[in-house]
Amino acid sequence: MNPVHFTSGMDEHAVVITRVADRQWHAVEDDLTVGRGDVSHRPDGRTFLSIDAWHVAVFERLAEAMLADLPKPLYTLVDETDLDLTSQWERAGFTTRRREWEYLVPTDPQVTGLGSALPPSDVTIVAVGEAQEGPLRTLDRVIRDEVEATVGWQEMPAEVLPLPEGVTVLDPSKYAVAAQSDGYVGLLRLAPVIRQPRIGLIAVRSDQHRRGIARALLAHVLGSLHRRGIETASAEVNESNGAAMALFEGVGARRASSNLELVLR
């Protein structure tokens, strides 16, 4: 791995950019690491970048080195309120592709109105952590194929955790599911973040849409959190997903922040 030298605008010390691993670059000045660049590969095949640097000049040199080494298209996520970071990526050639809203979702059934939201008579809700791994993976594959055949899985909220090839369900214990006698028809993924768990995905098999299954899954999970004393959960929703936004806003969720997904093609 060949280091790249440059002189920063801050002083005359040389800053060395080195690709220290397949997915990581370091910027070093006087034996001190002043910046890091990382790459994450999504299950859908897209490559996401992140850079943490002390100075704008270091960010620019890290971006230059990473972009020279990596095939396009490339993606990154930024907090929409972080104008400086957004500008730095834009100067590197990135443009806005889409916006994701973060919602804060109340769990109290008296607030959400979900106390009476029951699943259809032929559907049973299986609690988080109790789903069977085989049927869950089968449903996940069906749903991914359905999404890929329509809007494309790249339109789902960004998942930057690297997964082994072919693996789409990393931890089955994070899922609640809607079950029929012959298999699972809906799922909800819940990341058990302390104090404010995150709803990562709600999805229902296409032949089971408009039956209230997603609403019943949400009612079950939020109600369980409320009984544990957790007042709110969070969820990320692509602003183009009108159905998901309507589902969350219909239960009293409010927008708390937004992320921009940027792309360099």
Q: What is the DSSP letter of 71?
A: P
Exposed / middle / buried, residue 55 (Cβ in 10 Å: 0-12, 13-18, 19+):
middle
Crossing angle of helices 213-227 and 242-249, rounded to 10° = 40
Is residue 11 pLDDT above 80, yes or no? no
Is residue 12 pLDDT above 60, yes or no? no
Give the residue carrying structure tokens 């298999």: 183
Is there a single domain that holds both residue 65 and residue 191? no
Residue 150 included in any domain: yes
Residue 247 included in any domain: yes
Is residue 165 pLDDT above 70, yes or no? no
Is there a single domain that holds both residue 95 and residue 190? no
Residues 6+ apart with CB under 8 A from 63: 37, 49, 51, 88, 89, 92
Work out the pLDDT band at 188, boundaries 50, 70, 90: very high
Is there a single domain that holds both residue 113 and residue 49? no
Q: Which of 3-17, 62-76, 246-260 has the lowest mean pLDDT?
A: 3-17
Structure tokens at 79: 């907090």
Is residue 8 pLDDT above 50, yes or no? no
Residues 6+ apart with CB under 8 A from 169: 133, 136, 137, 140, 175
SS3 assignment, position 80: coil
Q: What pLDDT is stored for residue 96 in this prediction?
A: 96
Is there a single domain that holds both residue 84 and residue 204? no
Residue 85 included in any domain: yes
Is there a single domain that holds both residue 59 and residue 106? no
Is there a single domain that holds both residue 127 and residue 249? yes
Give the mean pLDDT of 81-92.
97
Work out the pLDDT band at 147, boundaries 50, 70, 90: confident
Average pLDDT, rounded, for the chain = 89
Is residue 157 pLDDT above 70, yes or no? no
> Which domain CATH number covers 116?
3.40.630.30
Q: pLDDT tens digit string along 193-204?
A: 777 899 988 999
Is there a single domain that holds both residue 81 and residue 112? no
pLDDT > 70 in the chain, percent: 87
The Cα 244–Cα 259 span in angstroms is 16
Query: What are the backbone dihedrals phi and psi of residue 2, each rounded to the nearest 5 degrees, phi first?
Result: -90, 125
Work out the pLDDT band at 167, boundaries 50, 70, 90: low
Q: What pLDDT is stored for residue 153 in this prediction?
A: 62
Cis amide leading into 3 (omega within 30):
no
Q: pLDDT tens digit string along 210-232?
A: 999 999 999 999 999 999 999 99
Last residue in a domain, options 31, 64, 99 = 99
SS3 assignment, position 47: strand
Is there a single domain that holds both residue 34 and residue 105? no
Residue 240 included in any domain: yes
Structure tokens at 175: 């899922």
Domain count, the chain: 2
Is there a single domain that holds both residue 146 and residue 90? no
Q: What pLDDT is stored for residue 203 in this prediction?
A: 93
CA atoms within 13 A on the CB side of 27: 27
Q: What pLDDT is stored for residue 144 in this prediction?
A: 86
Last residue in a domain, options 99, 123, 156 = 99
Is there a single domain that holds both residue 125 and residue 241? yes
Work out the pLDDT band at 156, boundaries 50, 70, 90: low
Is there a single domain that holds both residue 208 and residue 184? yes
Is there a single domain that holds both residue 94 and residue 113? no
The Cα 28–Cα 2 span in angstroms is 14
Residue 264 included in any domain: no
Residue 265 included in any domain: no
Give the mean pLDDT of 50-64.
95
Beta bridge partners of 76: 262
Q: What is the pTM of this model?
A: 0.78
Full residue range of the structural domain in which residue 208 is found: 101-259
Last residue in a domain, options 99, 117, 144 = 99
Q: What pLDDT is stored for residue 55 in this prediction?
A: 92
Is residue 183 pLDDT above 70, yes or no? yes
The Cα 229–Cα 4 span in angstroms is 53
Q: What pLDDT is stored for residue 115 in this prediction?
A: 92
